[in-house]
Structure 1
């Protein structure tokens, strides 16, 4: 079965982001979710990394994508992921188990792929709440 679920935790949740608007027109809300990792402030957007060291819940939303390949291509370009993007990629897209209120579901997640040295960590794991407080 093709996986058509995407977990979003950052700028794709912002109503004033053109790609978030594109996503809302090409996906349906599935539910809230979270996964263990660490979240960093990249300036105009956050970056999540998988980590077993001092990991915490990174929260966001799960959406079911319509026209999976087309939507992922647009989002891959936005996230700087793919062979035609600058190498190494800014983000990678990986399939991860995301915890929901019911059960874990496998979702595509964009993970930050470069060094996080010197970046501010968002230890709440919630980018939208972080933006409201800064």
Structure 2
């Protein structure tokens, strides 16, 4: 079975309601990482727009197999996200990772999360969003 690297930045991170290690126990945490882009509040979930700015968005890299990648596609596609590829620095190495970016029509007029950290940002949100973090 093929292995894939996936960058997660929202509720799939450790501390999120849908943390990879809980939702997909066979996924393997590789490292904390950052990508260049902007993070937006899309309501109960964030949306990462790649290469939109010189800002950094905090996330985590996981190794997953084909089955988990297909489940992620099903989960994210139903939420209006599209899978893309992005280059990530892991120590001295650069690796290609999959990442889910929202369809542009769903992020217009949304709040920019200047810290680039969904988990910390969500702690300050309304009770609805708090259900999506520990």
- Asked if these proteins are the same fold (TM beyond 0.5), I'd say yes
Contact 1:33 1:60 in 2 (8 A): yes
Question: Are the structure 2 counterparts of residues 91 and 20 from structure 1 closer, same or farther at C-alpha, using a change threshold of 3 Å?
Answer: farther
1:30 aligns with 2:27: no
1:8 Cα deviation (Å)? 0.5
Question: Are the structure 2 counterparts of residues 20 and 111 from structure 1 closer, same or farther at C-alpha, using a change threshold of 3 Å?
Answer: farther
Contact 2:16 2:119 in 1 (8 A): no
Pairwise CA RMSD: 2.1
Alpha-carbon distance in 2 for matches of 1:12, 1:18: 4
Alpha-carbon distance in 1 for matches of 2:86, 2:3: 11
TM-score w.r.t. length of structure 2: 0.79
Contact 1:3 1:107 in 2 (8 A): no
List aligned pairs for 1:1-134, cutoff 5 A: 4-13=4-13, 14-17=15-18, 21-23=22-24, 25-52=25-52, 54-65=53-64, 68-80=65-77, 90-115=80-105, 116-134=107-125
TM-score w.r.t. length of structure 1: 0.79
Q: How many residues align?
A: 122
Query: Which structure has the highest strand share of the two?
Result: 2
Alpha-carbon distance in 2 for matches of 1:18, 1:57: 21
Runs of 4+ in 1 over 3 A off after TM superposition: none
